[in-house]
């Protein structure tokens, strides 16, 4: 049942993209392939993607992302209309999910590339032990000590550069919905609180602890677990990560939580919520549901003092898992990406 009300973050740390490839991409960016402001990328994927205006959205657009590569491939094949559709994704900043093997190198690569473009990196940390209750995105660090070492590596890689971190999608929610066995709860609280403390010790890093989504039927049960996980020491919390709840529903949900955790602000993942959640037939409505659309473009200009930003934490066009014809979780799913873009305004 919890699949129907929570939605998973879906396996980025084990997404089938090797660390070698990720680091090679980061090195390529640092060698001069990223835009140095609002200009177009001249040397990267060939997609010509631009950074968004900094005053509207300070987060870095990766010119070597999957969407940018798809734009270049469609252009090369003469599929100009499809290329323009995927450009809707490629030209927006999305979260960079740090893998399990080389956290320091990946965090450094992304933050240095963002700094070169005079932008902030948006990073997602998803490596908690017993992740996703053994389902599509199962995995995570081997134990608590391995996780602490991983967080230390991420922090060292970020250094004093500007970064916004979304911390452990679903980790708190899965304790509340009992998906994560109770014997692991105390350790998880300690790990999350320790991660918040470590990351907040950095000079220019903001941390948002994940707090589930508006499809969760018992939000009143989240307040204490969020506090025990360190939300009061964080900059705020994130909602709707990898989910499809509408922005208005997410605002209402976030404000309810905020009122119980010291008035903390929050960010909303709007990456695929343009048509709200899927209510059609078939199991796992959170997994590559048909007929969805991109949501509001990322921005810090939300018009709401409690909503720090709309962000695309989930990378549109990457699969939720091996359902509805999709590849493994986190792998690029071009047909789905195109459908999302075409259904958007």
pLDDT in tens, 94-110: 999 999 999 999 999 99
State the catalytic residue, choosing from 75, 120, 170, 177. Answer: 170
pLDDT tens string 125-142: 999 998 876 555 667 999
- Lookup: tokens for 245: 């709840």
- Lookup: tokens for 57: 């959205």
Q: How confident is the model at residue 217 (pLDDT cuts 50, 70, 90)?
A: confident
Calculate mean pLDDT across residues 112-121: 98
Active site residue 170: yes
Cα 169 to Cα 177: distance, rounded to the nearest angstrom: 14
Strand, coil or helix: 128: coil
Packing angle between helix 66-76 and helix 334-342, nearest 10 degrees?
Answer: 90
pLDDT tens string 300-326: 999 999 999 999 999 999 999 999 999
pLDDT of 22 > 50? The answer is no
State the catalytic residue, choosing from 75, 132, 177, 210. Answer: 132
Calculate mean pLDDT across residues 261-285: 96
Position 283 scores a pLDDT of 87
The tally of CA atoms less than 13 A away on the side-chain side of residue 335 is 7
State the catalytic residue, choosing from 75, 177, 210, 320. Answer: 320
Position 220 scores a pLDDT of 87
Position 219 scores a pLDDT of 80
Cα 93 to Cα 162: distance, rounded to the nearest angstrom: 15
Please give the residue range of the domain that contains residue 37: 2-342
Calculate mean pLDDT across residues 109-127: 98
Active site residue 305: no
Number of other residues whose CB lies within 10 A of the CB of residue 90: 29
Position 46 scores a pLDDT of 67
pLDDT tens string 227-257: 999 999 999 999 999 999 999 999 999 999 9
Packing angle between helix 185-200 and helix 144-158, nearest 10 degrees?
Answer: 20
Active site residue 190: no
Q: How many domains does the chain have?
A: 1
- % of residues, the chain, pLDDT over 90: 78
- The CATH number given to whatever domain includes residue 140 is 3.20.20.40
**What is the pTM assigned to this prediction?**
0.90
User: DSSP letter string over 293-334?
Assistant: ---SPPBS--S-TTEEEEEB-S-TTB-SSSSTT--STTSB-H
């Amino acid at each position: 049942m919890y699949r129907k009300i929570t939605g998973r973050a879906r396996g980025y740390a084990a997404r089938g993209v090797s660390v070698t490839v990720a680091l090679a991409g980061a090195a390529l960016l640092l060698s001069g392939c990223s835009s140095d402001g609002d200009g177009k990328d001249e040397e990267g994927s060939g997609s010509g993607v631009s950074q968004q205006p900094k005053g509207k959205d300070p987060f870095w657009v990766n010119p070597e992302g999957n969407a940018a590569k798809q734009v270049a491939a469609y252009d090369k094949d003469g599929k100009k209309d499809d290329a323009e559709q995927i450009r809707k994704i490629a030209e927006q900043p999305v979260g960079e999910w740090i893998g399990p093997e080389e956290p320091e190198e990946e965090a450094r690569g992304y933050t240095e590339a963002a700094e070169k473009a005079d932008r902030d990196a948006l990073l997602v940390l998803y490596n908690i032990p017993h992740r996703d209750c053994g389902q599509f995105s199962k995995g995570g660090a081997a134990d608590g000590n391995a996780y602490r070492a991983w967080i230390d590596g991420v922090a060292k890689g970020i250094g004093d550069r500007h970064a916004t971190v979304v911390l452990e999608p679903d980790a708190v929610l899965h304790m509340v919905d009992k998906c994560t066995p109770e014997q692991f709860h105390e350790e998880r609280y300690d790990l999350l609180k320790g991660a918040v403390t470590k990351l907040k010790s950095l000079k220019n890093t903001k941390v948002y602890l994940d707090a589930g989504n508006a499809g969760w039927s018992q939000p009143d049960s989240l307040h204490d677990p969020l506090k025990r996980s360190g939300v009061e020491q964080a900059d705020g919390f994130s909602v709707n990560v990898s989910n499809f709840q509408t922005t208005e529903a997410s605002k209402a949900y976030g404000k309810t939580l905020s009122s119980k955790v010291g008035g903390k602000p929050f960010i909303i993942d709007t990456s695929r919520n343009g048509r709200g959640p899927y209510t059609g037939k078939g199991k796992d409505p959170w997994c590559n549901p048909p007929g969805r659309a991109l949501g509001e473009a990322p921005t810090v200009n939300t018009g709401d003092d409690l909503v720090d930003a709309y962000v695309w934490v989930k990378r549109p066009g990457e699969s939720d898992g091996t359902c509805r014809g999709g590849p493994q979780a986190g792998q690029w799913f071009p047909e789905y990406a195109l459908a999302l873009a075409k259904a958007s305004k």
